[in-house]
Amino acid sequence: MTFENLQTSQTDAIFRITIDRPSKLNALNKATIQALHEAFAYAEQKADVRVIILTGSGEKAFVAGADISEFADFNVSEGAALAAEGQRLLFDFVERLSKPVIAAVNGFALGGGLELAMSAHIRIASTNAKMGLPEVTLGVIPGYGGTQRLAQLVGKGKAMELILSASMIDAQAAHQLGLVNKVVDQSELLVEAEALASKIAANSPAAIRAAIQAVNAGYDNSQNGFETEIKLFGTCFGTADFKEGTSAFLEKRKAVFTGN
- Note down pLDDT in tens along the chain; length 260 residues: 899 999 999 999 999 999 999 989 999 999 999 999 999 999 999 999 999 999 999 989 999 998 888 888 999 999 999 999 999 999 999 999 999 999 999 999 999 999 999 999 999 999 999 999 999 999 999 999 999 999 999 999 999 999 999 999 999 999 999 999 999 999 999 999 999 999 999 999 999 999 999 999 999 999 999 999 999 999 999 999 999 999 999 999 999 999 99
Q: What residues does each domain of the chain span?
A: 6-201, 205-250
> Is CATH 3.30.420.40 what the domain over 6-201 is classified as, yes or no?
no
Q: Could you give the CA distance from residue 28 to residue 68 in angstroms, rounded to a whole number?
A: 9
Active site residue 135: yes
Of the residues 59, 70, 95, 135, only one is catalytic, namely 135
Of the residues 59, 70, 95, 115, only one is catalytic, namely 115
What is the structure's pLDDT at 221? 92
What is the structure's pLDDT at 69? 86
Active site residue 115: yes
